[in-house]
C-alpha cells in the first residue's frame, strides 16, 4: 500500500499542483519567465524523485530471487501503467489543454493529442494485463528461488543489466507523456514548467543510466542471442538494440541542445543548469530532431522490440528469449 501511495504521488502530483497553482496564480509573462518558475516546495522535483524511486524498486523486485517479491514487482509495474492512465483520464482530459493547446509549430504537433490518448489506452491495457499476470504468479504458488549473478552470463543478463534495463523502461512510462503534454500546455499556464522539470530530470537520469549501461557492457559482455533465432531475426535484433541505444543517447542530447540554444535551463531535481550557449536559431534544428524525427523513430523501434519479444515468447515458444532479461 505504501508503494501504491508513492507511485500515485509521483505520477499524479503534477495534476494536483496544476489545479493549485494554475489558472494564472503564477503571473503569466514571457515564455522565458514561465520556464524559469518553480512550484513552491519543489513539488516538481519531489514528483521526479518519487518516479525514480519507484522505477528502481520495480526493477529490483521484478528479478528478485524470492517469488513473492517478483509478484510484488509485477504489481508495481502494473500500478505504474495504471497511474499514467489515471493521470491522463482524471487530469489531462479535463485540463482544457487537449482542446486548446499551445499553437502548433508544425503540422506534426496536431498528432500530439492522439499520441497521448493512444499512450493512455496502451498504459491502461498493459496495467490490467500485468495485474492478471501478477494474479497468476501468485496463484502458481511457485517456491522457485532464482539466483542471478551480478554479471551477465552466456545465456542471460545479470542483476546489474536487468536493473538498468527495467528502471529505464519504467522511466519512459512518465518521461514520454510528460514531454508531450508539457509541449502542448499554453505558455500562460503556471504549471507548465513543472512538467518540464520532471521531463528534463528523468531525461538526465536516463542519459546517466545509459552511460553506466554502456560502461557495464564493456565490463560484462552481454549474452549471446537465442540460438533458436533465424539469421534474419538475429540481424533485426542487433539492429533494434543498436538503434535503441542510439535513441537513448540522442534523445537527451538533442533535448539539452534545443533547450540551451533556446535560452532555457536544464533541470535535474532542484538544480538548474543554465544555458551553455548564446540563444540562437540553432534550437530549431535541434528541436526538429528532438520533438519530431527521433520520437517517431523511437516509437517504431521500441514497438518492434516489444512485439518481437512477445512473438518469440508466445508464438515461437522461445521462452529463453524473454528469460534472458526477466525471471
End-to-end CA distance of the chain: 24
Cβ(98)–Cβ(113) below 8 Å: yes
Average pLDDT over residues 83-87: 94
Instruction: Say if residue 279's pLDDT is above 60.
Output: yes
C-alpha cell at 241: 538494440
SS3 category, 267: strand
With bands split at pLDDT 50, 70 and 90, how would you rate the model's confidence at 37?
A: low
How deeply is 198 buried, as exposed, middle or buried, from its count of CB atoms within 10 A (0-12, 13-18, 19+)?
A: buried
- Closest C-alpha among 221, 189, 168, 184 to residue 51: 168
Q: Which residues pair with 271 in a beta bridge?
A: 268
Residue 227 vs residue 248, higher pLDDT = 248
Instruction: Say if residue 1's pLDDT is above 90.
Output: no
Instruction: Say if residue 306's pLDDT is above 60.
Output: yes
pTM more than 0.85: no
Residue 187 vs residue 130, higher pLDDT = 130
Average pLDDT over residues 73-85: 94
SS3 category, 272: strand
C-alpha cell at 190: 503556471
C-alpha cell at 16: 494536483
With bands split at pLDDT 50, 70 and 90, how would you rate the model's confidence at 214?
A: very high
Distances (CA, A) of 327 to 137, 149, 153: 11, 13, 14
The answer for residues whose C-beta is within 8 angstroms of residue 227's C-beta and 6 or more apart is none
Residue 66 vs residue 41, higher pLDDT = 66
Cβ(259)–Cβ(265) below 8 Å: yes
What radius of gyration, in Å, describes the C-alpha atoms of the chain? 20
Percentage of the chain modeled with pLDDT above 70: 84
With bands split at pLDDT 50, 70 and 90, how would you rate the model's confidence at 209?
A: very high
Cβ(161)–Cβ(216) below 8 Å: yes
Q: Give the chain's mean pLDDT.
A: 81
Mean pLDDT highest for which of 186-190, 195-199, 314-318?
195-199
pLDDT at 13: 41
C-alpha dihedral (127, 250, 260, 215), degrees to nearest 10: 90
Cβ(175)–Cβ(206) below 8 Å: yes
How deeply is 203 buried, as exposed, middle or buried, from its count of CB atoms within 10 A (0-12, 13-18, 19+)?
A: buried
Average pLDDT over residues 210-235: 85
pLDDT at 281: 87
pLDDT at 322: 67
- Closest C-alpha among 250, 258, 228, 253 to residue 301: 250
Amino acid at each position: 500500500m505504501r508503494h501504491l501511495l508513492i507511485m500515485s504521488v509521483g505520477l499524479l502530483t503534477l495534476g494536483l499542483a496544476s489545479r493549485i497553482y494554475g489558472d494564472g496564480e503564477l503571473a503569466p509573462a514571457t515564455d522565458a519567465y514561465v520556464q524559469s518558475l518553480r512550484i513552491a516546495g519543489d513539488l516538481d522535483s519531489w514528483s521526479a524523485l518519487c518516479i525514480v524511486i519507484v522505477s528502481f524498486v520495480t526493477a529490483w523486485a521484478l528479478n528478485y530471487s524470492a517469488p513473492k517479491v517478483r509478484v510484488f514487482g509485477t504489481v508495481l509495474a502494473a500500478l505504474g501503467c495504471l497511474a499514467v492512465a489515471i493521470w491522463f483520464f482524471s487530469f489531462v482530459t479535463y485540463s482544457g489543454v487537449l482542446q486548446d493547446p499551445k499553437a502548433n509549430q508544425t503540422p506534426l504537433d496536431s498528432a500530439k493529442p492522439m499520441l497521448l490518448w493512444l499512450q493512455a489506452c496502451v498504459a491502461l491495457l498493459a496495467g490490467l494485463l500485468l495485474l492478471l499476470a501478477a494474479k497468476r504468479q501468485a496463484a502458481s504458488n511457485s517456491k522457485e528461488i532464482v539466483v542471478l549473478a551480478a554479471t551477465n552470463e552466456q545465456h542471460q543478463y545479470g542483476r546489474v543489466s536487468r536493473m538498468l534495463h527495467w528502471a529505464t523502461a519504467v522511466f519512459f512510462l512518465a518521461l514520454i507523456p510528460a514531454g508531450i503534454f508539457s509541449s502542448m500546455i499554453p505558455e500562460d499556464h503556471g504549471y507548465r514548467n513543472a512538467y518540464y522539470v520532471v521531463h528534463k530530470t528523468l531525461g538526465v537520469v536516463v542519459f546517466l543510466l545509459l552511460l553506466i549501461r554502456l560502461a557495464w557492457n564493456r565490463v560484462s559482455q552481454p549474452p549471446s542471442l537465442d540460438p533458436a533465432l533465424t539469421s534474419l531475426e538475429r540481424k533485426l535484433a542487433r539492429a533494434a538494440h543498436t538503434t535503441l541505444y542510439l535513441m537513448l543517447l540522442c534523445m537527451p542530447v538533442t533535448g539539452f541542445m534545443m533547450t540551451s540554444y533556446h535560452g532555457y535551463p536544464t533541470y535535474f531535481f532542484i538544480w538548474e543548469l543554465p544555458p551553455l550557449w548564446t540563444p540562437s536559431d540553432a534550437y530549431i534544428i535541434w528541436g526538429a530532431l528532438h520533438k519530431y524525427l527521433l520520437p517517431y523513430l523511437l516509437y517504431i523501434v521500441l514497438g518492434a522490440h516489444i512485439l518481437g519479444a512477445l512473438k518469440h515468447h508466445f508464438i515461437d515458444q522461445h521462452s529463453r528469449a524473454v528469460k534472458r532479461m526477466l525471471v
